[in-house]
Structure 1
């Protein structure tokens, strides 16, 4: 029997008012198990407002991950500025709805997000901070060429302590195949 290749495409769209429904879907215990408990309605609305606003500040960008050709929003990715050891850097985040995990969607979306940050030529480094227990996110960091810096304990959300890994990618050394193009994944 011949092997069958299924082509899956994802596109990033700037976070917009319409994405509030996606943020509600992302507020599920199985998605948040490595970063804390689900947020209250007030916290979701505040997060949504920050995500919408960040794109217009020049200090980062947030995106919905769109599965093609279905045009279904399946996750979130983005980056923002922060100070890390007295240096301005980007911090990157991502998440995919459970029913779409394990198909390479997050890897493609993160790679595209990094390409967008690279194109800005604003900061040299981008950091990811997945929980030490989040195998999938740590694997994405390794696959995309991040360097492991160290393990930390931090308070997040306030009142709760967690262990996380600090991964760093030098944006000036990263060779990426696409900027603002659809990512194609073969599964």
Structure 2
């Protein structure tokens, strides 16, 4: 398993969010945002845990380097409350299993909340790496769906579901 830990998003993580806002990293999520949008997103991330509705985390390597982000938030999906998970990894750190390890850590966080049965992730059907993370983290593919992201833009996504009441799986 990859060596990475998650830490709640911090005011000092703005530089990481700016790095994650690259055309390559955002190609499956609507493209790069303006600096104004990045600053607003950073402010939401910093204060998100205070809302009780979710939390954004940084992926921290043993040497302290910040390698990406991962988070969860509550949403309604098909008339049921679920947690949605999302993540991004800087290009230099891809292919190392960091996203899978980080997603599993976030699943542990939401599982401990014991307030929703399912977690979902909705990677683009054209994003093989994120779909592989879902599979490796123990999610079940329910099929393709239309999904609005970013707001105002429909995309074809895979709907991956994880039963938070089931014992964790290791693959």
The TM-score range, normalised by the shorter chain, is over 0.9
- Say which of 72, 80, 94 aligns to 2:65: 72
Aligned pair in 2 of structure 1 residues 85, 52: CA closer, same or farther (>3 Å)? same
Q: Are 2:126 and 1:133 aligned?
A: yes
- Aligned counterparts of 1:88 and 1:158: Cα–Cα separation in 2: 19
Per the alignment, residue 149 of structure 1 pairs with 142
Task: Give the corresponding residue for 1:14.
Answer: 8
Q: SS of 2:73's equivalent?
A: strand
Displacement of 1:164 in angstroms is: 0.6
Matched-pair contact (CA < 8 Å) for 2:9–2:46: yes
SS of the aligned residue for 1:123 comes to: coil
- Greater Rg, structure 1 or structure 2? 1
- Stretches of structure 1 that go unaligned for 5 or more consecutive residues are 1-6, 178-187
The structure with higher relative contact order (CA 8 Å, sep 6+) is 1
State yes or no: 1:43 paired with 2:37: yes
Structure 2 stretches lacking a partner, 5+ long: none
TM-score calculated relative to the size of structure 2: 0.93
Counterpart Cα distance in 2 of 1:85 and 1:160: 19
8 Å contact from structure 1 (residues 115, 176) kept in 2? no
Kept in 1, the 8 Å contact 2:14–2:42? The answer is: yes
Q: CA RMSD of the aligned region, Å? A: 1.5
Aligned to 1:24: 18
Question: TM-score, normalization: structure 1?
Answer: 0.86
